[in-house]
Structure 1
Amino acid sequence: MTDNTKDFSACTSILVGKKATADGSIMIARNEDFKTAWPKHFVVHPHHKSLKQQTFISSDNGFRLELPLISSKYTATPEWTDQYGTFEEDGINEDGVAMSATESAYANERVLGADPLVKNGIGEEAIVTVVLPYIKTAREGVARLGKIVETKGASETNGVLFADNDEAWYMEIATGHCWAAQRIPDDCYAVVANQLALEEIDFADTANFMTATNLKKFVTENRLNSDNFSFNFRKIFGTHELSDEIYSTPRVWYGQKQFTPSIISEPTSESLPFIQKPDNLLHREDLEFLLASHFQRTVYDPLGVGTAEQKHRFRPISLAETQESHILQLRPWLPKEINGLHWLALGVTAQSVFVPFYASLKDTPVEYQKGIETFSFDSAYWRYKLLGILVDPHYLTYGEKLKALQKDLRIKLNHSVHISDRQALKIFKKDKLISYLTKKSHENAALALKEVDKLTAQLITQSTDLSPLNFKTDENL
């Protein structure tokens, strides 16, 4: 990775089935990690019908794809610049399909030797843009992206999350043309961290597995499987290196430790299951905690009480390079216009706030559409980053103030959603309903920014007394 390109977005992902949540919602979530100063915007693309054929051309690697004439409305979080690609990353479309892309991963040299990555194939920067506006179900999303990979090739090894009102899917693109996907069982969840995670593929179970057309034949002909009685995607295509045990598996371990504490495992284990059942039904706040976590209550917490070596042994889930974090929540019991919530936390998750936006909103607040590489106060991204920067050097002094703000805003924003959900159910005209949901989404964002700015001003004022040039005169002199 260089400063001028975005080869990988080293993220952490969560997928949760509808019977694994307390309220029956389906959720997919991810931290987008890249650089400490690289703003994200939040936008709504309107429904659009083209009169002539449109072709997507990547500014990153030249990938080309002819697009359908009709594109659905969808939310997205693109980069502040499209010089290296759009990297729209996550969103929910007008048909209630949620998508998050990508979870960067790595394939082993053996499989890449048989099917190399394609230099001008589809990559992270293009995936959401050429898939999400053109699908009506999560399964359609897997199929569309899979066809693109098989025909155009892939330039990267990636994991992609899909969800709709019925199911959640995790798809892995391993090599230039090989991919597989698994439906998350309704009563289960998955945590993924920069590794190929899918395990046993059941080719006969088409309700729960989808794969590249000739995946099994490719593996057989190239003698890539060391087990004649199993087809373990992770073992065949994945890496199993020391770096995995430092960088990736500890995050999966911590996620499973939080959601399924009854099962004892080790942070460096290479055999952590992809699919896991929670000990208790999960709330959205459980996902918020995990995305903002850094091994709390273990010796590996960089802000904890372990030794210097322990505190920096493993890569935490929340870190300074996070650009944005999202939880895409689909609530099947509500009408289509109301059921999708795009929860968005800009900047470092541990120092930010998840703000709820109804996915059917007409537009986003202007502050969420601004921000360049250098700081500017008119940008929501930079205002959240500023608060974190003020807390960082004085964490013991200001950390509790930040936690208090986050708790207060979680309560207020949760209450706002409860009230607006009930009010929205009383509005029967679609245009009026969308206007109301847009208004409430903007109010949620304004409330969070107002409180963030208030604490920022307080910390700036108090920080003036923390200068190393300060001198406390003895009162008796």
Structure 2
Amino acid sequence: MTNKLTACTSILIGKKASIDGSIMIGRNEDAKAAWPKHMVVHQHGELGPHFLSKDTKLAIDLPGDSARYTATPEWTDKEGLFEEDGINEYDVAMSATESAYANPLVLGCDPLVESGLNEEAMVTVVLPFVKSAREGVQRLGDLIAQHGSGEVNGVLFADNEEAWYFENGSGHYWVAQRIPDDSYAVVANQLAIQEVDFNDPDNFMFHPGIQDFVADHQLNPSPDSFNFRKIFGTADRSDAVYSEPRVWVGHQTFSPQAAQSEQPESSELPFIMKPERKLSVLDAQAYLSNHFEGTAFDPLGKGPVAHKYRPISLAKTQESHVLQMGRSTGANIHWLALGVAAQSTYVPFFNGITDVPAPYKRGKLPAQLNSAYWIFKHASVLVDSHLHDFLPLLEDVQKERRAAAIQLIKETDAELSRYTGDERTTFLNRQSSNFATDTLNAYKSLALDLITKMTDYSALNFNTDENL
């Protein structure tokens, strides 16, 4: 197993389920509370012909020139790259991975492979070499079938037409399901795909030997159907506390009538759901920022069950992203919130950019305040110090930045048709960079305001009688 197993939360939204016809895939990358990330844009042909994993030592020959793509790697590559998420020049988006778990019965028959393809390398060896979401699913599936994997994972793909969710449930065997256009899915550290229709290639892809594998090893508890989650996955007490409530709160948010009888610890929550209203990119961001606010389970509350369940947004979030595809009005968008999603701001980076501002390319240990990651984290920990007094100030900045982001996108969309070639690239670079820089400046100003206010909270303070 990798030294850094992330525990994430994901959302996928079909184009007819969204308010603007776009397709969205998003995920929180959760590992450590202080573990910096940064953003890069890899240029076309940058990767070279071979890849060697620092995590598992897996060596892979890469198929031709790599495409340009965005990514958010670790601050150190000592244990691997962990590029995690991005959009390539062919408008294919990928987010990897949603860590999951398989049951011992399955793993006894197809064990995990220590020298296989793990999370840290998946984006790097797949995203730069595919021209559609389906190609992404097939390439990842073929690589895992050939080399194996040391982890059980879920991986998100999207292009301008559709979104797919991929899962490998053992060392080599995998399935993937297309998200229906009118539906969404939320996933939280469990194998999620349920009934697989092997006669529906439009909506399902799979390892060619998976049916025989399950039959030969007598793994299916309900032979009249093929429920991938029940065959390969887990449904124990840790799932009920750690994973299922995050799926439940998504259903309560987007499908409250259909989900009104659902319980937060249920192991039968559906994978695919239809929203009861059209969903915007801000809805996707709000889900990834959710910490059970408005319920008794909010860890910011003080009731007896305030810390009963693991929230979606938490201190260990390194970055959160929403990859918005199929935008008919303009360029697709890589939305990135560095640090804790609930206390950060999603910054839109238009696909087609060739660079990002210097602070977004920085992020190391120890902390450095010329890094975007640490600028967001700095404001976050200051707010935490006096949450009741300071949270409204943070929320004011977030609201202003959200509205400014929507305004930026509308202005960019309206102007984009005027530009082609290098001028288009320059325009998208400028639009993305200016907003990203303005957002950092807003958080720097917030941090200074918080520090100023905190000076009066000192334990050494003393109320002097003005008559003395």
Q: Distance in 2 between matches of 1:78 and 1:6?
A: 15
Pick the aligned partner of 2:81 from 62, 82, 86: 86
SS in 2 for 1:186: coil
Unaligned runs of 5+ in 1: none
Q: Distance in 2 between matches of 1:240 and 1:123?
A: 23
1:12 aligned onto 2:9: yes
Deviation at residue 469 of structure 1 after TM alignment: 2.0
Q: Is the 8 A contact 2:159 2:326 kept in 1?
A: no
Q: What CA deviation, in whole Å up to 9, does each residue of 1:186-215 have, x standing for no partner?
A: 000000000000000000001100000100
Q: What CA deviation, in whole Å up to 9, does each residue of 1:301-342 have, x standing for no partner?
A: 0112522xx0110000000000000000013424xxx42100
Q: Which residue of 2 aligns with 1:103?
A: 98
Q: What CA deviation, in whole Å up to 9, does each residue of 1:59-90 have, x standing for no partner?
A: 11111111012110000000011110000000
1:39 aligned onto 2:39: no
Q: Which residue of 2 aligns with 1:393?
A: 385
1:436 aligned onto 2:433: no
SS in 2 for 1:28: strand
Instruction: Report the AA paired with residue 373 of structure 2.
Output: Y
Q: Is the 8 A contact 1:44 1:73 kept in 2?
A: yes
Q: Distance in 2 between matches of 1:261 and 1:222?
A: 40
SS in 2 for 1:300: coil
Q: What CA deviation, in whole Å up to 9, does each residue of 1:243-273 have, x standing for no partner?
A: 0000000000001110111121110010000
Q: What CA deviation, in whole Å up to 9, does each residue of 1:146-201 have, x standing for no partner?
A: 00011111110000000001100000011111100000000000000000000000
Q: Is the 8 A contact 1:49 1:69 kept in 2?
A: no
Q: Is the 8 A contact 2:4 2:31 kept in 1?
A: no
Deviation at residue 460 of structure 1 after TM alignment: 0.8
Matches within 5 A, 1:9-88: 9-48=6-45, 54-88=49-83
SS in 1 for 2:157: strand
Q: Which residue of 2 aligns with 1:217?
A: 212
Instruction: Report the AA paired with residue 191 of structure 1.
Output: V
Could you say what the CA RMSD is over the residues aligned between the two structures, in angstroms? 1.2
Q: Is the 8 A contact 1:42 1:75 kept in 2?
A: yes
Q: Distance in 2 between matches of 1:194 and 1:176?
A: 17
1:403 aligned onto 2:395: yes
SS in 1 for 2:16: helix
Q: Is the 8 A contact 1:21 1:283 kept in 2?
A: yes
Deviation at residue 461 of structure 1 after TM alignment: 1.1
Deviation at residue 222 of structure 1 after TM alignment: 0.1
SS in 2 for 1:150: helix
Structure 1 residues 305 and 297: CA distance shift in structure 2, 3 A:
farther
1:303 aligned onto 2:320: no
Q: Distance in 1 between matches of 2:255 and 2:417?
A: 36
Which 4+ residue blocks in structure 1 deviate beyond 6 angstroms?
Answer: none
Q: Which residue of 2 aligns with 1:330?
A: 325
Q: Distance in 2 between matches of 1:473 and 1:269?
A: 58
SS in 2 for 1:75: strand
Deviation at residue 124 of structure 1 after TM alignment: 0.3
Deviation at residue 468 of structure 1 after TM alignment: 1.8
Q: Is the 8 A contact 1:15 1:189 kept in 2?
A: yes
1:155 aligned onto 2:147: no
Q: Distance in 1 between matches of 2:223 and 2:34?
A: 48
Q: Distance in 2 between matches of 1:360 and 1:339?
A: 8
1:256 aligned onto 2:248: no
SS in 2 for 1:86: coil
SS in 1 for 2:193: coil
Matches within 5 A, 1:113-132: 113-132=108-127
Q: Is the 8 A contact 2:161 2:326 kept in 1?
A: no
Q: Which residue of 2 aligns with 1:470?
A: 461
Q: Which residue of 2 aligns with 1:286?
A: 283
Q: What CA deviation, in whole Å up to 9, does each residue of 1:256-294 have, x standing for no partner?
A: 110111121110010000000000010111111111110
Structure 1 residues 27 and 461: CA distance shift in structure 2, 3 A:
same
Instruction: Report the AA paired with residue 295 of structure 1.
Output: F
Q: Distance in 2 between matches of 1:171 and 1:75?
A: 21
Matches within 5 A, 1:318-467: 318-334=313-329, 338-427=330-419, 429-467=420-458
Report how many aligned residue pairs link the two structures. 466
Using structure 2 for the length normalisation, give the TM-score.
0.98
Q: Distance in 2 between matches of 1:32 and 1:283?
A: 21
Deviation at residue 475 of structure 1 after TM alignment: 3.1
Identical counterparts, % of pairs: 52
SS in 1 for 2:41: strand
Pick the aligned partner of 2:138 from 133, 143, 153: 143
Q: Distance in 1 between matches of 2:466 and 2:412?
A: 56
Q: Distance in 2 between matches of 1:280 and 1:244?
A: 29
SS in 2 for 1:325: strand
Q: Is the 8 A contact 1:57 1:63 kept in 2?
A: yes
Q: Distance in 2 between matches of 1:470 and 1:34?
A: 38
Q: Which residue of 1 aligns with 2:265?
A: 268
Q: Distance in 2 between matches of 1:6 and 1:49?
A: 27
SS in 1 for 2:266: coil
